[in-house]
Amino acid sequence: MDLGMSLQELVRVHEVLARDFANAGRASTSIKETLKHLGVNPVTVRRVAIASYEAEMNIVMYANRGVMTLKVSPDSITLEVQDEGPGIPNIPLAMQEGYSTATPEMREMGFGAGMGLPNIQRNADVFEITSEVGRGTRLFIQVNHGS
Ligand X SMILES: Nc1ncnc2c1ncn2[C@@H]1O[C@H](COP(=O)(O)OP(=O)(O)OP(=O)(O)O)[C@@H](O)[C@H]1O
Residue nearest to ligand X (CB): 116
- Tell me, residue by residue from 99 to 128, as one string, x for binding to Mg ion by CB under 5 A and - for no binding: -----------------x------------
Distance CA 72, CA 79 (A): 9
Among 85, 123, 141, 143, binds ligand X (CB under 6 A): 85
Among 16, 59, 60, 124, binds ligand X (CB under 6 A): 59
Other C-beta atoms within 10 Å of 99: how many?
15
Total chain residues near ligand X (CB under 6 A): 24
Q: Is 83 in the site for ligand X (CB under 6 A)?
A: yes
Instruction: Please state, in angstroms and as integers, the Cα–Cα distance from residue 118 to each residue in 5, 33, 55, following that order.
Output: 32, 24, 11
**Sequence-ordered alpha helix ranges (H) in 7-145:** 26-38, 42-62, 91-94, 104-108, 116-123
Q: Which residues bind ligand X (CB under 6 A)?
A: 54, 58-59, 61-63, 83, 85-86, 88, 94, 99-102, 111-118, 137
